[in-house]
Amino acid sequence: MAKDLGFFQKVYEVAKVIPYGRVTSYGAIARYLGAAGSARMVGWAMNASHNQDDVPAHRVVNRLGLLTGKHHFSGTNLMQQLLESEGVVVIDNQIQDFEKLFWDPTLELKS
């Protein structure tokens, strides 16, 4: 798998502006970047971001609010702990009130 570092960097720039206590999805970032079919590539970018302290990858989840990327964080429940430290309630790996907490970059980041 060849990495598109330009795309990854664009993903990171979007992730960096997700507000504290809010979450978005891989697909929402992909749509915002004009690559609607590339949610999985956004996931790969998030997985590759763990060496960058300023990318809040824990705020990016799947379209149902599930912590599908949790296994890529060090520690058993680090992704959940980071979200909970921001006031996000997680039960059985699922964000509660997902619709209320969902941050859509297409609506929030107007060009």
- Structural domain count, the chain: 1
How far separated are the first and last CA of the chain, in Å rounded? Answer: 31
Residue 74 lies in a domain: yes
Radius of gyration of the chain (CA): 13
Residue 110 lies in a domain: no
What's 12-48 look like in SS3? HHHHCCCCCCCEEEHHHHHHHCCCCCCHHHHHHHHHH
State the average pLDDT over residues 43-56: 89
Residue 72 lies in a domain: yes
* Per-residue confidence (pLDDT) for residue 73, from 0 to 100: 86
pLDDT tens profile 82-102: 999 999 999 999 999 999 999
Confidence of residue 1 (pLDDT cuts 50, 70, 90): very low
Residue 111 lies in a domain: no
Rounded to the nearest angstrom, the gap between the alpha carbon of residue 92 and the centroid of all alpha carbons in its chain is: 18
Residue 31 lies in a domain: yes
**What CATH number is attached to the domain comprising 91?**
1.10.10.10
Can you give the residue range of the structural domain that contains 35? 5-105
pTM of the model: 0.91
Residue 50 lies in a domain: yes
Other Cβ atoms less than 10 A from the Cβ of 44: the count is 18
Q: Which two tokens stand for residue 8?
A: 């990854």
